[in-house]
Structure 1
Amino acid sequence: MPTKFLLPFLTSMLLLPSTLVFAQDRAEIPLWPAAAPGETGDVEPEHALPKRENENPPKLRIGNVSKPVMTLFKPENPDPKGTTVIVAPGGGYSILAYSHEGSEICEWLNSIGVTAVLLKYRVPRRSEENFHELPLMDAQRAIRMVRSKAAEWNINPDRIGMLGFSAGGHLTVMAGTNGGKASYEAVDEIDQLSPQLNFMIPIYPAYLLNKKTNQLNTNIVVNKDIPPAFIAITFDDSERAVGAAMLLVAMKKVDVPCELHVYRNGGHGYGMRASKNAVSKWPELCRDWFAASGLIE
């Protein structure tokens, strides 16, 4: 193995016990039958990042994903509505915050009877200009694959949504606003299915705002065909709070339902872990939104 690849590989072996257990418990499902479209193969080996000090419990972060997969989390007591949520961790399109913005969210969704699918999309950015391009391909492929599994998993193919954090929140919005346009050429019969989400839940979404114009970025096209949204963010989360507000305004203009909760403080990157801040209650309100939207009983 080349020297420059050796350290990440060894680090991954030392730091991945939770991932290994996770993999044994839940099988990862490859998104693509062969190499993912647009993948050049010049990314270093996938690995876990070193644990950060003073994190309790520690957070698992994964880097260098070139073989995207999804992992199914089935609830013990599934809600009869058959709703499924694809979970997209954040990480600035550089890494994936795989536990506190990933597996922990899937477990919470299971606790309210919702089937969850954890999406491991490609990172880091392959392009600074179109940094979401390959992740959007992975997201659309995941939506189609989940839809293709409706009978096998006993889920409703018309109740498939996406919940993402930060960069994953941006990816959620991009998937929600690009449902009528495929981001890659079809590779098999699964790609004949629709990549359209039925709802979207961006939590502290990043990259929505054009800082020069104070408007939504032009690649976010909001029209009457996009799905309804639940959004949570904090006032002190830099310009991201403005981006979330602008998304609400744009959705209001086309009469697509959007519920936005702006909390006073809490910053960024908290996932759904408990804190002294009121923003920690967003999962309760999200559950209420699921019920009010007819997604759970």
Structure 2
Amino acid sequence: MTVGRRALLAASLALPFASVAAHTSWTRPTGVVPDASLPLWPGGHVVPPRGLAERVIQRSDEADASDRMLEGITRPRLDIFRPARPNGAAVILAPGGGYRYVVIDKEGYELARWLSERGVTVYVLFYRLPGDGWANGADVPLADAQRAMRLVRSRAGADGIDPARVVFGGFSAGGQVATSLLTRFDATVYAPVDAADALPARPDALAAIYPVVSMDPAIAHAVSREKLIGANPDAAREALHSPERNVRADQPPLWLLHAEDDDVVRIDNSVRLRDAARRIGAPCEAHFFERGGHGFGLMKTAGLPIAIWPELLWNWLGSHGIV
């Protein structure tokens, strides 16, 4: 169901503003740090599995190309990047990491900075990982994505955004989070916890960049598949978590990006999702490039035609009235 802009705005303004905790970690030499960090769930609602502990791992020591990942996420949250002059648009980003960790910089903070410099309020989502021992682990990334959509809309007045211009984007395994939200935005995967959960979780547009999509073992990213649905899932479980098999006419407009030479997540994931959307007449724009590999983000596209992808995304968002 599509909710009108006025109804969303009225509902969000009626909710109390959520408190924002000061961000006190993850300092980057080049100064790309969020303005604030917002807990996704009320205190005490999320109880981590015994022994789970967060750990930041640095994968690059280059001062201008920091590449960190966060393991063992115990505090799902949104790191907020506020523009100097907000244009009313909001984007929630789900970085990748094979459902083993969540990338911080190249698929999170870097694009957040790029978008915020153009007036977009950006929220980088650090979602729970399905293999970390959470109850109903296969649905915790989707639960966090739904909650992020609702929480951001509830903060429209506080953050200066239009609750009918909220986009969700994901990279790699974060693209699986995104495309699951594409087709299961109204699935009941958690019990409501506060007034924000009365708001819709359907994004107004959705972007998936070199996404993991399918759980079909013929094309699936093997690690993501095992972490999400286990080593020996039955056919029903495999189908439920394969977004290309669950497309629907009322899903949000979809934007896809993939490189033909991606040797980590096969381009078939994006091709199948595009074809499934096309068959039912759902809006979808796809960009496939000859070269780019996997995990290029913004930092690993120099000298390649695929380097134009952020501008392609920006123009598409404009065509749908987001920016």
Find the aligned partners of 2:215 and 2:307 in 1 and give their Cα distance: 24
Question: Given the alignment of the two structures, is residue 244 of structure 1 paired with residue 252 of structure 2, yes or no?
Answer: no
| Cα contact 2:37–2:78 (8 A) shared by 1 | yes
Find the aligned partners of 1:127 and 1:248 in 2 and give their Cα distance: 33
For 2:58, give the aligned amino acid: P
Question: Given the alignment of the two structures, is residue 204 of structure 1 paired with residue 204 of structure 2, yes or no?
Answer: no
Out of 23, 42, 61, which is 2:69 matched to? 61
Q: How far is the alpha carbon of 1:231 from its aligned partner?
A: 0.8
Q: Which residue of 1 aligns with 2:198?
A: 192
Q: How far is the alpha carbon of 1:233 from its aligned partner?
A: 0.5
The alignment covers a number of residue pairs equal to 275
Q: How far is the alpha carbon of 1:126 from its aligned partner?
A: 3.0
Question: Given the alignment of the two structures, is residue 258 of structure 1 paired with residue 284 of structure 2, yes or no?
Answer: yes
Unaligned runs of 5+ in 1: 1-14
Stretches of 4+ moved more than 4 A in 1? 53-56
Q: How far is the alpha carbon of 1:71 from its aligned partner?
A: 1.7
SS of alignment partner, residue 233 of structure 1: strand
Sort the Cα spacing of 1:127 and 1:64 in 2 relative to 1 into closer, same or farther, 3 A.
closer
Q: Which residue of 1 aligns with 2:96?
A: 90
Find the aligned partners of 1:88 and 1:150 in 2 and give their Cα distance: 20
| Cα contact 1:88–1:165 (8 A) shared by 2 | yes
Question: Given the alignment of the two structures, is residue 292 of structure 1 paired with residue 301 of structure 2, yes or no?
Answer: no
Q: Which residue of 2 aligns with 1:11?
A: none
Q: How far is the alpha carbon of 1:117 from its aligned partner?
A: 0.7
CA deviation vs aligned residue, 1:223-246 (integer Å, no higher than 9, x gap): 101101111110111453111011
Q: Which residue of 2 aligns with 1:230?
A: 255
SS of alignment partner, residue 117 of structure 1: strand
| Cα contact 2:130–2:139 (8 A) shared by 1 | no
Q: How far is the alpha carbon of 1:111 from its aligned partner?
A: 2.1
CA deviation vs aligned residue, 1:262-291 (integer Å, no higher than 9, x gap): 000111011112422221211011111111
Residue correspondence of structure 1 range 31-50 to structure 2 within 5 A: 31-37=40-46, 39-50=47-58
Find the aligned partners of 2:279 and 2:130 in 1 and give their Cα distance: 35
Out of 102, 106, 125, which is 1:100 matched to? 106
Question: Given the alignment of the two structures, is residue 218 of structure 1 paired with residue 239 of structure 2, yes or no?
Answer: yes
Sort the Cα spacing of 1:282 and 1:22 in 2 relative to 1 into closer, same or farther, 3 A.
closer
Question: Given the alignment of the two structures, is residue 30 of structure 1 paired with residue 56 of structure 2, yes or no?
Answer: no
Q: Which residue of 1 aligns with 2:169?
A: 163
SS of alignment partner, residue 156 of structure 1: coil
Q: Which residue of 1 aligns with 2:296?
A: 270
Residue correspondence of structure 1 range 89-128 to structure 2 within 5 A: 89-123=95-129, 125-126=131-132
Find the aligned partners of 1:28 and 1:169 in 2 and give their Cα distance: 22
SS of alignment partner, residue 122 of structure 2: strand
Question: Given the alignment of the two structures, is residue 174 of structure 1 paired with residue 199 of structure 2, yes or no?
Answer: no
Find the aligned partners of 2:105 and 2:59 in 1 and give their Cα distance: 12
Q: How far is the alpha carbon of 1:22 from its aligned partner?
A: 6.6
| Cα contact 1:43–1:66 (8 A) shared by 2 | no
Q: Which residue of 2 aligns with 1:12?
A: none
Sort the Cα spacing of 1:57 and 1:279 in 2 relative to 1 into closer, same or farther, 3 A.
same
Most deviating of 188-197 and 84-93: 188-197
| Cα contact 1:66–1:123 (8 A) shared by 2 | no
Sort the Cα spacing of 1:47 and 1:213 in 2 relative to 1 into closer, same or farther, 3 A.
closer
Q: Which residue of 2 aligns with 1:3?
A: none
| Cα contact 1:106–1:118 (8 A) shared by 2 | yes
* RMSD between aligned residues: 2.5
Unaligned runs of 5+ in 2: 1-24, 221-237
% of aligned pairs identical? 31
| Cα contact 2:207–2:256 (8 A) shared by 1 | yes
Find the aligned partners of 2:58 and 2:157 in 1 and give their Cα distance: 40
| Cα contact 1:93–1:132 (8 A) shared by 2 | no
| Cα contact 1:90–1:166 (8 A) shared by 2 | yes
| Cα contact 2:32–2:113 (8 A) shared by 1 | no
Most deviating of 258-267 and 277-286: 277-286
Q: How far is the alpha carbon of 1:55 from its aligned partner?
A: 8.2
Q: How far is the alpha carbon of 1:174 from its aligned partner?
A: 0.7
